[in-house]
Amino acid sequence: MNAKNSVPVARAFDVEAVRRDFPALHQQVHGHPLVYLDNAASAHKPRAVIDTITHYYSTDYSNVHRGLHYLSERCSQAYEDARGKVASFIHAKDAREIIFVRGTTEAINLVANTYGRKHVRAGDEILISALEHHSNIVPWQMLCEQTGGVLKVVPVSDAGELDLEAFEHLLSSRTRLVAVTHVSNALGTINPLRRIIDAAHAVGARVLIDGAQAVHHMPVDVQDLDCDFYAFSGHKMYGPTGIGVLYGKAALLEAMPPWQGGGEMIREVSFERSTYADIPFKFEAGTPHIVGAIGLGAAVDYISSFDRAAVARHEHELMTYATELLGSLPGLRIVGTVANKASIVSFVLDDAHPHDVGTILDRYGIAVRAGHHCTMPLMNRLCLGGTTRASFAMYNTRSEVERLVAGVGKVMEMFRR
């Protein structure tokens, strides 16, 4: 804090200093220094998050919103402070619009099972895109099976770009909900959300954004976007596993029926009927992941302590550098070539299966993901069984990109026909 006016001062971005914050990065894997490029699957945790979790389990831990005693009050305060931090992080109007859930998957299932079951009738349409993760496909398929709704899919180009004209044609007065990803986890494509959201609202549809791969790479302002729901996971943004967020506009959340029943989500219970608590508690049945939420608050503090534009620039440079070096290797093809991309480079080799690439890179201490990345329909659309995917975080370096490229070179030598 700046002592004079209490305005937080952004920490200068220095990647070597950032790396010192992450203990797990400093280890050898198969005799090589770890190069961790599987951040889209899950990112490592800074000391600030680890210490916060240790602190709460070591001292101020108790159940929340139940006890009148000292520890319960302290822990409840920290849990609600975390909600406030998340609300500010995505610029929600009100902390009541932040529902703590297990992750993106649970957030989307919550909307499908509450908003979806209430509003989708036989013949109504739900519009998703061909870029979606299984988490933003399967819950809608299940909803359609239950309600007679119809799932429609916006096509994607060979480069990995949504066909916005097709999207606008698919929208109709039957469209109840549009559910699209902010950033594609398989290709890195950043979708033009404003255009999508405005067009969906023009036909009276609600919009859910899957922000799992976006919220830690770029500033997200849910009021400016005007999305109705925004979902993300703590573990990809340097926070704990098992905790995530559903943002929803307060008026929508208030009108939605609860999903899971139990303690914490009720106002009064009798054997005849129950009444429900106000938001957000209506959607947080049972004992929540208390320390997970507090740890997520610490992750938000950590990310927010930096000049976020500098972090985004650094990640973009890594992606561009990796694309340039990998793209120059004969027999390697980058998959996902749109101009507007974030932190992800997917590729295929002419002569080696992605699983072989991933396994061999691991022998050199390089962690990447290989396979369909939980986007089987997208892989089918691109006529691929899978890709090898390098995904970057704020702590990665140019020399790690060079280690990746050298590793891929070794794989190519092994498989050269």
**Unique residue bearing structure tokens 């989500």:** 265
Decide whether 357 or 412 has the Cβ nearer to ligand C6P.
Answer: 357
For residue 334, how many other CB atoms are within 10 A of its CB?
Answer: 17
In whole angstroms, the minimum distance from the beta carbon of 245 to ligand C6P comes to 11
Applying CB under 6 A, what is the total number of residues that bind ligand C6P?
17
User: What is the contact mask toward ligand C6P in residues 151 to 190, using x (rule: CB under 6 A)?
Assistant: ------------------------------x---x-----
Indicate if 374 belongs to the active site: yes
Quote the CA–CA distance of 179 and 173 in Å, as a whole number. Answer: 16
Q: Which is nearer to ligand C6P, 46 or 239 (CB)?
A: 239
**Binder of ligand C6P out of 83, 96, 133, 403 (CB under 6 A):** 133
**Binding map of ligand C6P across residues 29-48, x = CB under 6 A, - = no contact:** -----------xx-------
Asked, as a colleague might, if the bond just before 280 is cis with ω within 30 of 0, I would say yes
Residue 274 burial (CB count, 10 A): 13
Q: What is the DSSP string of 47-116?
A: HHHHHHHHHIIIII---SSS--SHHHHHHHHHHHHHHHHHHHHTT-S-GGGEEEESSHHHHHHHHIIIII
Nearer to ligand C6P, 183 or 200 (CB): 183
Range 202-206, long-range pairs (CB < 8 A, 24+ positions): 202/171, 203/171, 203/172, 203/173, 203/175, 204/173, 204/175, 205/127, 205/171, 205/175, 205/176, 205/177, 205/178, 206/115, 206/119, 206/176, 206/177, 206/178, 206/252
* 352-391 positions binding ligand C6P, by CB under 6 A: 369, 373-374
Least distance between ligand C6P and beta carbon 68 (Å)? 35
Q: Give the binding range for ligand C6P (CB under 6 A) out of 17-25, 165-173, 210-218, 354-362.
A: 210-218
CB of 241 to ligand C6P, least distance (A): 8
Query: How many Å apart are CA 42 and CA 403, to the nearest integer?
Result: 20
Report the nearest approach of ligand C6P to the CB of residue 373 (Å).
5
343 binds ligand C6P (CB under 6 A): no
Catalytic position from the list 75, 227, 374, 383: 374
Contact status, residue 25 vs residue 44, Cβ threshold 8 Å = yes
CB of 156 to ligand C6P, least distance (A): 14
Q: 369-371 and 98-101 as β-strands: parallel, antiparallel, unpaired?
A: unpaired
Stretch that binds ligand C6P, among 46-54, 64-72, 130-138, 246-254 (CB under 6 A): 130-138
Tell which positions 250-289 bind ligand C6P, by CB under 6 A. none
Q: Does 104 bind ligand C6P (CB under 6 A)?
A: yes
Active site residues: 374
Residues of this chain that bind ligand C6P (CB under 6 A): 40-41, 103-105, 133, 135-136, 181, 185, 210, 212-213, 233, 369, 373-374
